[in-house]
């Protein structure tokens, strides 16, 4: 159906008819009666009626608004599952012995009361969505569109003056509750649809300002029967940021409870996104809280898309995305949407839903809400996991003590108690000294910021203006806000340039991390001694703390720069300043701005005043304190658990000493079952996290692979060559997928998550790069399975395939007088291998399966780069018991003979075997296998009785120096073995 080039393919095309003449041509071409039709809307209704008849569209069809009911119902089901986990943990806790219960209450004071409180919290349904936007961006129109009712004021110059909460009505009533400031009471408005005066009053009060240009209301609650508000969804409309510092404080409270954020952009503006406005809003959000703001829980909506010329739309959207990435470097394309609230509202009036709005809802809001809700669920998951981990630890300690007959071995208990007391004292000192590092910097930073901003160079950059860079003429409130944003941006540029040069923040991060690396290493050694005494998996608090704190502190932009970061130093300083519209001097300054012929002079005066406001009172100190506090938050929230854990350990030992000395227990019958149940609950909880809470790094659509292009096959997973799409680019990757026998289930998910967590914390040139993970759901024979997919850096070869059993000329395969080039090549490989291995050891990790197959090769600038892989198998030294792990020929004697807890020195033994293989070019498994067959011995027998090692008496044996390194590294006594750093330094001498 068409009329002179205007083609009708759907209802939206009819609604989009450009003018009356086009409408009349369509009416005529469709054979309809035009008598009585005068306006475009009348014509559209006639055409829509005819379209619906021909397309058999029933009355009301397509008019039902999109809802979040499915999303929220899914969240309700997830919360119910989590509530079930609480019930299961409580039931299990009730079955524990009094000894273990007392230990849990030592770590989690008032455990049962706290558990009940958290259960009530998980039952709360409120889901806040905070909505903000550029001036006249159509924010209120967007909310009205969601509600399908013209409730909020939408005049061009009107704005929301106070916070408005829009909730689902109780018993279908329609009312507004206005909360007056200073506890002066509330007033109600009954929003009966035929009483237009009530809506007028509501809109008036939403915009109302008092003599101080501030809203007389603390907030306004609007109750309305809307499908989108069902099941606890609460829309929060916000006034402009920057006009009132008291409002900023109120906003902070919403930030703690908001699940999602929607920011409306005015696409009709020539510049598109008002970067200063968005920066100002988000800078306030980020710097008013010591939490890390999650940009993934945010949608950006480019409104007024209908006025953007078609030929410019792609360019405008790309430009908007570029501006957004300068504020949020990790924002993704799928978080940015285009819509026209005018066209969408018109569609609603004609019984349709605009396609762009439908797309926004289905692909934006419906994704935003569940992703945001997961943040809340995660806090509950983490708490339950901590509880179960502590129960597991307590049970292991108790079971191990009984197995060793501790009741008759008072010396063992005494030694443990002394060790834990020492550890507690050291931990207290570490915590205090690390926190003081940041706190002591406030005065120094205050002085440096004052000196910088009061310097002539900084004042020239901030206060010198030309007319074309000044705010456009408007009312004084808008000018003052624009001026505030512009001045703040200049201050940010000056301070961030200073920070990039002096690296104050980076230096602070490095000092805190270094302090923890040094001190936690001491605690790790002490914890390992405790683990050795108990012969169990040691408590891993210090390693978890180090990883947690390092991760929090190193969460900056990918290139390491802090410039343009909302959480940067410049933002922290600038948000301490303000040109408040309630300030009399600001009013006086900009009241006559419309007619001022020298705006640059006004801006210079405003810049000086803004900078002075930074240093007035305690605002800058408070802002810097919050800024620096972000670096110690991890210490406060995670590391301070060490003393509590250690105190609980001491009390547990004391109780055990009493119980085990006075009663004959049946621990050997009871505790294995309790341990199994605790591990089962932990596995089930982790499976809940993976299936319901975990944020996957990529979608399946971003990965392509051929099942026949296999890079490796293992007992647990297979590795394929794949292609990963990142933005507009594609990169070759290795895709590790668990095989059919090892789908993700409660019995293995905890180990899988441990591997994933380990890989995420590793960043080194000689460690395989980890891109992330995702789940693959499969179905076979009616059975659904989940496979774990790990995306890793692609490498073209392994060191073994290059150096062993092929044509490569190894040092041990050429005459002694001609092998220097081979030794140099060997040294180049070994230096890189040792660098990666030492990195693991510095992080208190043991590889546990170091072998040539797990040393890969890639290229960078035509040079071969060594990459350690399968590092996900690594474990903290404190977490390793006598379990068998690795490839037998590479295993250290203490692992094969299971003589107890082993450490990083086991990796050094494996390194010695690798050095032997590189030298001779032989497979060590075949070599040792032949020796054992000749002697009719097992590997364990060979190690135990013959101190079995690969032969160094083969043709062209190593130089005396290299042989000494190999022999020392595979010494029977772990303490005599070298460190990876020592081996690296030795081989560097050949380069």
Q: Is the pLDDT of residue 94 over 90?
A: yes
Measured between alpha carbons, how far is 435 from 418 in angstroms, rounded to an integer?
Answer: 27
Q: Cα dihedral angle (546, 547, 550, 552), rounded to 10 degrees? A: -120
Measured between alpha carbons, how far is 287 from 698 in angstroms, rounded to an integer?
Answer: 29
Region 548-571 average pLDDT = 48
Please choose, from the candidates 206, 291, 299, 221, the residue with its C-alpha nearest in 3D space to the C-alpha of residue 255: 291
Among 63-72, 262-271, 756-765, the range with the most confident prediction by mean pLDDT is 756-765
Helix (H) or strand (E) holding 306: none
Give the residue, 52 or 202, on which the prediction is more confident.
202
31 contacts: CB under 8 Å, gap ≥ 6: none
Average pLDDT, the chain: 79
Asked if 259 contacts 376 with a C-beta cutoff of 8 angstroms, the reply is yes
Among 465-474, 654-663, 730-739, 827-836, the range with the most confident prediction by mean pLDDT is 827-836
Q: Give the residue carrying structure tokens 């797990």.
A: 854
Q: Is the pLDDT of residue 769 over 90?
A: yes
Instruction: Give the pLDDT score at 129.
Output: 84
- Residue 323 confidence class, pLDDT cut points 50, 70, 90: confident
Q: Is the pLDDT of residue 563 over 50?
A: no
Instruction: Give the pLDDT score at 685.
Output: 96
834-879 per-position pLDDT tens digit: 999 999 998 888 888 899 999 999 998 889 999 998 875 444 444 4
Q: Is the pLDDT of residue 178 over 90?
A: yes
Q: What is the DSSP string of 604-633?
A: HHHHHHHHHHHHSTTHHHHHHHHHHHHHHH
Measured between alpha carbons, how far is 724 from 315 in angstroms, rounded to an integer?
Answer: 26
Give the residue, 194 or 121, on which the prediction is more confident.
121
Region 548-560 average pLDDT = 40
Region 682-689 average pLDDT = 95
Instruction: Give the pLDDT score at 90.
Output: 96
The percent of residues above 90 in pLDDT, for the chain, comes to 24
**Residue 463 burial (CB count, 10 A):** 18
Instruction: Give the pLDDT score at 885.
Output: 46
Q: Which CATH class is domain 798-988?
A: mainly alpha
- Residue 592 confidence class, pLDDT cut points 50, 70, 90: confident
Q: What is the DSSP string of 685-753?
A: HHHHIIIII---SS-GGGEEEEEEEEEEE-SSEEEEEEEEEETTEEEEEEEEEE-GGG-S-TTTHHHHH
Q: Which CATH class is domain 126-163+231-353?
A: alpha beta
Instruction: Give the pLDDT score at 661.
Output: 52
Report angle CA 103, 104, 110 to the nearest 5 degrees: 115
- Residue 808 confidence class, pLDDT cut points 50, 70, 90: confident
Q: Is the pLDDT of residue 406 over 70?
A: no
Pick from 210-224, 269-283, 431-445: least confident: 269-283
Region 762-785 average pLDDT = 88
Region 830-837 average pLDDT = 97
388 contacts: CB under 8 Å, gap ≥ 6: 89, 678, 681, 682, 685
H helix intervals, 124-218: 139-147, 196-207
Using DSSP's 3-state secondary structure scheme, residue 731 falls into strand
Q: Is the pLDDT of residue 547 over 50?
A: no
Among 19-28, 74-83, 155-164, 930-939, the range with the most confident prediction by mean pLDDT is 930-939
Q: Is the pLDDT of residue 987 over 90?
A: yes
Asked if 967 contacts 919 with a C-beta cutoff of 8 angstroms, the reply is no
Q: Is the pLDDT of residue 298 over 80?
A: yes
Instruction: Give the pLDDT score at 731.
Output: 92
Residue spans of the domains in the chain: they are 2-54, 126-163+231-353, 404-663, 696-794, 798-988
Phi and psi (nearest 5°) for 649? -60, -40
Q: Which two tokens stand for residue 214?
A: 């501030």
Q: Is the pLDDT of residue 422 over 80?
A: no
Q: Is the pLDDT of residue 553 over 50?
A: no
Binding-site annotation, residues: 736
Give the residue, 689 or 482, on which the prediction is more confident.
689
Measured between alpha carbons, how far is 694 from 692 in angstroms, rounded to an integer?
Answer: 6
Helix (H) or strand (E) holding 6: strand 6-7
784 contacts: CB under 8 Å, gap ≥ 6: 777, 778
Q: Is the pLDDT of residue 400 over 90?
A: no
Measured between alpha carbons, how far is 986 from 969 in angstroms, rounded to an integer?
Answer: 13
Instruction: Give the pLDDT score at 124.
Output: 75
Measured between alpha carbons, how far is 289 from 266 in angstroms, rounded to an integer?
Answer: 27
Instruction: Give the pLDDT score at 43.
Output: 81
Q: What is the DSSP string of 757-794?
A: HHHHT---TTB--EEEEEEEEEEETTEEEEEEEEEEE-
Instruction: Give the pLDDT score at 975.
Output: 92
Q: Which two tokens stand for residue 569?
A: 């130093």
115-137 per-position pLDDT tens digit: 999 998 888 777 788 888 877 78
Q: Is the pLDDT of residue 313 over 70?
A: yes
| Residues recorded for the chain | 991
Q: Is the pLDDT of residue 87 over 90?
A: yes
CATH topology of domain 696-794: Phosphorylase Kinase; domain 1 (3.30.200)
Region 654-683 average pLDDT = 72
Binding-site annotation, residues for ATP: 736
pTM exceeding 0.85? no
């Amino acid at each position: 159906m068409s009329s002179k080039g205007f083609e009708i393919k759907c209802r939206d095309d009819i609604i989009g008819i450009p003018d009356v003449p086009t409408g009349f041509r369509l009416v005529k071409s469709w054979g309809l009666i035009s008598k009585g039709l005068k306006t475009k809307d009348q014509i559209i209704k006639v055409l829509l009626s005819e379209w619906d008849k021909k397309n058999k569209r029933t009355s009301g069809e397509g008019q039902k608004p999109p809802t979040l009911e499915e999303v929220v119902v899914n969240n309700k089901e997830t919360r119910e599952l989590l509530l079930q986990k609480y019930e299961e943990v409580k039931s299990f806790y009730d079955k524990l012995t009094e000894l273990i219960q007392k230990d849990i209450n030592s770590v989690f004071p008032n455990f049962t009361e706290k558990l009940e409180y958290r259960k009530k919290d998980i039952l709360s349904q409120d889901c806040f969505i905070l909505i903000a936007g550029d001036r006249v961006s159509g924010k209120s129109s967007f909310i009205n569109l969601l509600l399908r009712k013209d409730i909020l004021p939408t005049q061009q110059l009107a704005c929301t003056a106070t916070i408005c909460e829009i909730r689902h009505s109780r018993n279908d009533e329609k009312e507004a509750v206005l909360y007056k400031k200073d506890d002066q009471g509330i007033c109600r408005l009954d929003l009966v649809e035929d009483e237009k005066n009530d809506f007028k009053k509501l809109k008036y009060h939403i915009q109302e300002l008092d003599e101080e240009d501030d809203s007389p209301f603390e907030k306004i609650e609007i109750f309305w029967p809307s499908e989108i508000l069902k099941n606890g969804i609460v829309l929060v409309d916000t006034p402009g940021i920057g006009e009132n510092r008291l409002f900023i404080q109120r906003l902070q409270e919403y930030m703690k409870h908001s699940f999602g954020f929607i920011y409306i952009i005015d696409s009709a503006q020539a510049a598109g996104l008002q970067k200063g406005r968005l920066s100002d809003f988000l800078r306030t959000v980020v710097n008013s809280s010591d939490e890390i703001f999650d940009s993934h829980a945010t949608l950006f909506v480019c409104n007024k898309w209908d006025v953007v010329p078609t030929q410019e739309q792609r360019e405008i959207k790309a430009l908007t995305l570029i501006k957004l990435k300068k504020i949020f470097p990790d924002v993704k394309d799928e978080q940015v949407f285009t819509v026209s609230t005018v066209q969408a509202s018109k569609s609603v009036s004609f019984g349709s839903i605009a396609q762009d709005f439908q797309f926004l809802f289905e692909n934006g809001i419906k994704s935003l809400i569940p992703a945001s809700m997961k943040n809340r669920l995660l806090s509950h998951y983490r708490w339950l996991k901590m509880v179960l981990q502590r129960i597991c630890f307590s049970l292991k300690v108790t079971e191990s003590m009984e197995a060793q007959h501790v009741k008759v071995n008072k010396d063992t208990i005494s030694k443990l108690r002394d060790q834990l007391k020492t550890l507690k004292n050291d931990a207290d000192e570490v915590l205090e000294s690390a926190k003081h590092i940041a706190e002591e910097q406030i005065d120094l930073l205050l002085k440096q910021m004052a000196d910088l901003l009061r310097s002539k160079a900084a004042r020239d950059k901030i206060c010198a203006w030309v007319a074309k860079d000044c705010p456009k003429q408007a009312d004084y409130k808008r000018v003052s806000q624009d001026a505030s944003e512009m001045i703040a941006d200049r201050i940010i540029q000056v301070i961030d340039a200073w920070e990039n040069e002096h690296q104050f923040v980076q230096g602070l991060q490095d000092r805190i991390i270094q302090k923890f690396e040094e001190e936690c290493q001491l605690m790790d050694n002490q914890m390992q001694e405790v683990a050795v005494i108990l012969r169990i998996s040691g408590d891993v608090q210090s390693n978890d703390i180090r990883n947690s704190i390092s991760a929090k502190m190193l969460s900056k932009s990918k290139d390491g720069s802090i410039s343009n970061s909302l959480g940067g130093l410049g933002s922290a300083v600038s948000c301490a300043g303000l040109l408040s519209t309630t300030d009399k001097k600001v009013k006086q300054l900009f009241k006559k701005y419309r007619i001022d012929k020298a705006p640059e002079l006004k801006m210079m005066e405003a810049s000086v005043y803004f900078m002075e406001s930074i240093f007035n009172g305690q605002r800058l100190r408070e802002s810097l304190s919050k800024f620096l506090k972000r670096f110690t938050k991890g210490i406060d929230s995670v590391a301070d658990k060490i003393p509590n854990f250690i105190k609980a350990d001491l009390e547990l030992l004391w109780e055990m000493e009493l119980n085990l000395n006075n009663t004959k227990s049946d621990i050997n019958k009871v505790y294995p079952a309790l341990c199994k149940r605790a591990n089962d609950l932990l596995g089930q909880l982790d499976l809940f996290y993976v299936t319901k809470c975990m944020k996957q790094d990529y979608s399946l659509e971003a990965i392509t692979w051929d099942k026949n292009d296999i890079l490796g096959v293992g007992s647990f997973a297979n590795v394929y060559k794949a292609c990963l799409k990142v933005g507009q680019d594609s990169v070759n990757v290795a895709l590790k997928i668990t095989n059919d026998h090892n789908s993700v289930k409660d019995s293995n998910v905890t180990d899988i998550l441990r591997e994933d967590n380990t890989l995420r914390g590793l960043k080194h040139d000689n460690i395989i790069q980890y891109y992330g993970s995702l789940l693959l759901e499969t179905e076979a024979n009616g059975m659904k399975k989940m496979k774990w997919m790990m995306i890793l850096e692609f490498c073209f070869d392994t060191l073994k395939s290059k150096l062993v059993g092929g044509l490569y000329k190894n040092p041990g395969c050429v005459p002694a007088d001609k092998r220097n080039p081979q030794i140099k090549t060997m040294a180049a490989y070994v230096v890189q291998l040792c660098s990666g291995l030492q990195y693991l050891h510095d992080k208190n990790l043991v590889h546990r399966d170091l072998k040539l197959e797990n040393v890969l090769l890639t290229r960078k600038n035509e040079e071969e780069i060594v990459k350690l892989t399968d590092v996900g198998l690594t474990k903290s030294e404190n977490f390793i018991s006598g379990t068998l792990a690795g490839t037998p020929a590479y295993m250290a004697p203490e692992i094969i003979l299971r003589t107890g807890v082993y450490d990083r020195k086991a990796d050094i033994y494996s390194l010695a075997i690798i050095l032997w293989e590189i030298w001779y070019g032989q497979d060590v498994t075949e070599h040792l296998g032949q020796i054992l067959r000749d002697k009719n011995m097992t590997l364990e027998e060979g190690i135990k009785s013959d101190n079995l090692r690969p032969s160094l008496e083969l043709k062209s044996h190593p130089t005396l120096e290299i042989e000494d390194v190999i022999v020392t590294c595979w010494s029977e006594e772990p303490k005599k073995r070298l460190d990876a750093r020592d081996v690296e330094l030795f081989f560097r001498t050949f380069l």
